[in-house]
Amino acid sequence: MNALSLDLRTMVKRNMLSRKPQCIYCVLAITIACIAASSAQVVKDHDRQRSSSKNQQAADDFLRNIYPNLPPNQAPAAVARGKRLFETNCAFCHGTDATGGNRGPDLLRSVLVNHDEKGEPQVSDLVAFLHQRNRDARLRFTYKIPSVAVGDATAGKTYFESHCGGCHSRTGDLAGIATRYPADELQQRWIYPPSASAEVMVTLVSGQKYAGNLKHLDEFNVSLYDAQGTYHSFALGNETHVKVADPLEAHYKLVELLSDGDMHNVTTYLETLK
């Protein structure tokens, strides 16, 4: 180490010693400021939690106008412990989800469960589990379905053009379809579309024919409404021939061939038609 380096160290040391009182004051000031900031943050977090609690309470008060005995949200840890206890000791009679089994009733609809009180720790955990299941079952309409459009839109377009393009068009009947239905409903509608009126032709042994909208068909009878709105019903036999033209027949056949990947790919593609 050279003399210049020693001189610099000496100067710095002397300067720190000469300013020791000021340094102490600076440290104290910084410490006080940190404590004040930390306290302010604690107060802010507490106010936020209290506001969230008030909002939850207000929501629960509103829901209790619909469900007078709606239990509050339970502590997640207690619910988890109670679930394990229930599955070990109760599920063989009441079902794993407490909705009833072969030998035990549905506990979610039980008056006793809806009005019980907490007791020993394990009983409290079971109560927490049952109350949370009760609450979740009542509020199932608030569940948000995750997006089902999780496939490959390009692959979906290819599948659509080869299997569906003969009857449907992205610029025709399907133009803007993604703006009319959410993804889950859109998927339901293209796989299991709403019922459409099927046309039927019935040819009797005499050669006489009746045509119209199919009303009913099983292995014993067929019935229809003709163009004038007259109802006809016929018993099926070896000499009675029935020919049905169902516009959804292609959909019925497609369901038998459709893979999960194809389903998600086509849905994702249809989601782009906005």
pLDDT per position as a tens digit, 133-173: 888 887 777 667 778 888 999 999 999 999 998 889 999 99
Tokens of 145: 């379905």
More confident site: 64 or 210: 210
pLDDT at residue number 41: 57
Query: DSSP code of 178?
Result: G
CB 259, CB 151: distance < 8 Å: no
Which residue, 243, 247, 234, is CA-closest to 198? 247
Per-residue pLDDT at 222 exceeds 70: yes
Q: How would you list the strands of the sheet with 209-217, edge to edge?
A: 231-235, 221-225, 209-217, 199-203, 241-245
- Residue with the bigger pLDDT between 119 and 163: it is 163
- Identify the residue with better confidence: 16 or 170: 170
Q: Which of 13-27, 33-47, 80-94 has the highest mean pLDDT?
A: 80-94
Q: Is the pLDDT reported for residue 17 higher than 70?
A: no
Please give the share of the chain, as a percent, with pLDDT higher than 70: 70
Q: Which of helix, strand or coil describes residue 19?
A: coil
pLDDT score of 59 more than 80: no
pLDDT reported for residue 2: 47
Instruction: Select the more confidently predicted residue: 121 or 274.
Output: 274
Strand, helix or coil at 209?
strand
DSSP letter assigned to residue 204: -
Of 201, 197, 193, 188, which Cα lies nearest the Cα of 267? 188
Give me the chain's average pLDDT, please: 77
Report whether pLDDT(250) > 50. Answer: yes
Rounded distance between C-alpha atoms, residue 68 and residue 103, angstroms: 29
Q: What is the structure's pLDDT at 258?
A: 87
Share of the chain above pLDDT 90, in %: 25
The mean pLDDT of 12-33, rounded to a whole number, is: 49
Statement: the pTM of the whole predicted model exceeds 0.85: no
- The one-letter amino acid code at 260 reads D
pLDDT of residue 242: 93
Residue 228 has pLDDT above 90, yes or no: yes
Residue 9 pLDDT greater than 80, yes or no: no
Alpha helices, DSSP H only, in the chain?
Answer: 3-18, 20-63, 76-89, 91-94, 111-115, 121-138, 153-163, 183-191, 249-257, 260-270
> 135 and 70 in contact (C-beta within 8 Å)?
yes
Tokens of 3: 């003399």
* pLDDT for residue 22 is more than 60: no
